[in-house]
Amino acid sequence: MDAQLAVITGASTGIGRQLAKEFARNGFDLVLSADDDALDDVATELRGDGRQVWSVRRDLSTYPGVTELVERIESLDRPIDVLILNAGVGIGGPFVGETPLHDQLRVVDLNVSGTLHLAKRLLPAMVERGSGRLAVVSSTVAGLPGPFQSTYNASKAFVSSFAAAIAEELRGTGVTVTTVLPGLTDTEFFTRARMLDTRLGSLSFKDDPARVARETYRATMAGRAHVVTGPFYNWAFVLAGRLLPDRLLARLHRAVSAPDSAGAPIVG
């Protein structure tokens, strides 16, 4: 009997890399996608014990990139048992002035458009078959207006709402949808988003991405509607986003996300 197949985007680093390892440990064959050289290293590491791993290096912020990944998956002529839409990017800094428009648009193109496009292309076959699991990786900041992370937080709000909506649409089809809400995680995110000078970027108590991957795996395979990974205090971000007014949330967020906020007092 063939192993089950998991497709994981953003699989070269951080949470995505650990997700690839977690699914490999549990006997899955893998299709891994990212747009950097580290992807091949992950695929090479995980091949073995009869496991098949395909690496597809594509830029999923572009329409052709998504299309080429879908065509590669379809060429395998194998059903997708688990689809993990994890690819994402952030950009820190003022929306007006310093951050290039291209960088802000790429956040939307990858986090929002790429996620929607892949779901639209790959979910129909899962529904037609009557089985499959989708996990969409959002963030605990999805409910928080994010000064100096405005586009990123908004993109995570979109994917959280999107995942919850299609979960209800697909109820009873045999396909489950899990929204994953990680908190601060020890990955390359803050370096790539140019946020190392912020309080958020400099905090030392970030979660282990391997832990996030384990909890994501368990929740996805159990068909849970959502999972807040990591320490209990990550729930505080989620609950704050539901209970507090946006204006207050934005002010609190500014204190930890503003450039040069690392080491500065939160109230001053």
The rounded Cα 89 to chain-centroid distance in angstroms is 9
Query: Could you say which of 63, 152, 217, 233 is catalytic?
Result: 152
The pLDDT assigned to 259 comes to 92
For the domain bounded by 5-257, which CATH number is listed? Answer: 3.40.50.720
Give the integer Cα–Cα distance in Å for 190 and 162: 25
Is the pTM value of this prediction over 0.85?
Answer: yes
**Domain coordinates of the chain in residue numbers?**
5-257
The rounded Cα 51 to chain-centroid distance in angstroms is 24
Residue 149 backbone dihedrals phi, psi, to 5 degrees = -140, 30
Tell me 28's DSSP state. Answer: -
Condensed to tens digits (0 to 9), the pLDDT of residues 25-36 reads: 999 999 999 999
152 is catalytic: yes
Is a pLDDT exceeding 60 seen at residue 268? no
Give the length of the chain: 268
Condensed to tens digits (0 to 9), the pLDDT of residues 126-166 reads: 999 999 999 999 999 999 999 999 999 999 999 999 999 99
